[in-house]
Amino acid sequence: MTTSPRGAVLQRDGETYAIIPSLNGGLLDLPTLKKLTEVVEKYQIPIVKLTGAQRLALVGMQGKDVENIWNDLGMEPAPAVGNVVRSIQTCPGNAVCKNGKQNSLALSSKLQELFLGKGLPSKLKMGVSGCPICCAEPWLRDIGLFGKSDGWTVVVGGCAAGRPRIADFITEGLSDDKAVELVGKIINVYADNAKKGERIGKLIDRIGLEEFKALI
C-alpha cells in the first residue's frame, strides 16, 4: 500500500488526489484567492469545488505535485477526514448581515483556533450562526451556536447524516467567553465518555440528556 502525499485524498480513479486547504470560517481574502488561481492554472487542476463545510477542495492533481502545491499556497490542510474537530461552518453574522445579533465570525475563529483538529472518538462538526435564522445549520451540527440579543444559545448532538438528528438545547444567553468555555467542556465530556465512532448525539441518546448536561 502506498502512502498518500501530505493532506491528500486519493480519488476513485486510483491515480489523482484532492486536497482541502484550511479556511477560517469560509473566509477568503484577495491574496489567498490569487494564490489559489495561480496554483490551479500552474498545475492544471481540473476541479475546484466548494464543500458543504465552506471549504475549497482542489481535485484531480497528480501525487507528485501535492507537496509543491502546498508550498505554493502557503496553506495547511484542513482536518477534512478522520475523528477530529472539523472546520466550523459559519455565517457572516453581525459583521455584515442586517439580521445578525452576535459576531459569529469572531466566535468561530476563536473556536477554530482552540479546537480545530483535536482528536476525538468520532468526527465533530460545529456550526455558528449570528442569529436564530441559523443559516450555518447549528441544529444539525454536533455542537451548534446561534446568537440572540442577550448572547449565545448552545445546542448539542445534531447531525445531518443518513439519519439526521436535531440537536438538543443546552443553554442560552452566554457571552463569547462563556460560550467558548462551554464548548471546551462539551468536547472534553465527549472525549471522556463516548465510545469509538460514537457521535455526540448517539452519546446523548445512550446516557440521556440530563446525564449529559450534568457532566458538563
Identify which range of 22-30, 37-45, 96-104, 201-209 contacts ligand SF4 by CB under 6 A: 96-104
Contacts of 46 (CB under 8 A, 6+ apart): 59, 60
Least distance in angstroms from the C-beta of 135 to ligand SF4: 3
Which one of 20, 116, 134, 145 is in contact with ligand SF4 (CB under 6 A)?
A: 134
Question: Which lies closer to ligand SF4 via its Cβ, residue 133 or residue 214?
Answer: 133
Is 126 a binding residue for ligand SF4 by CB under 6 A? The answer is no
Is 100 a binding residue for ligand SF4 by CB under 6 A? The answer is yes
Residue 170: name the closest of 110, 103, 215, 104 by CA. 215
Binding residues among 147-186 for ligand SF4 as defined by CB under 6 A: none
Least distance in angstroms from the C-beta of 51 to ligand SF4: 18
Question: Could you give the string, one character per residue 73-92, with x where binding to ligand SF4 holds by CB under 6 A and - elsewhere?
Answer: ------------------xx
Is 131 a binding residue for ligand SF4 by CB under 6 A? The answer is yes
Least distance in angstroms from the C-beta of 141 to ligand SF4: 13
Copy the grid coordinates of residue 75.
496553506
Is 135 a binding residue for ligand SF4 by CB under 6 A? The answer is yes
Is 39 a binding residue for ligand SF4 by CB under 6 A? The answer is no
Question: Which lies closer to ligand SF4 via its Cβ, residue 7 or residue 25?
Answer: 25
By CB under 6 A, name the binding residues for ligand SF4: 91-93, 97, 99-100, 129-131, 133-135
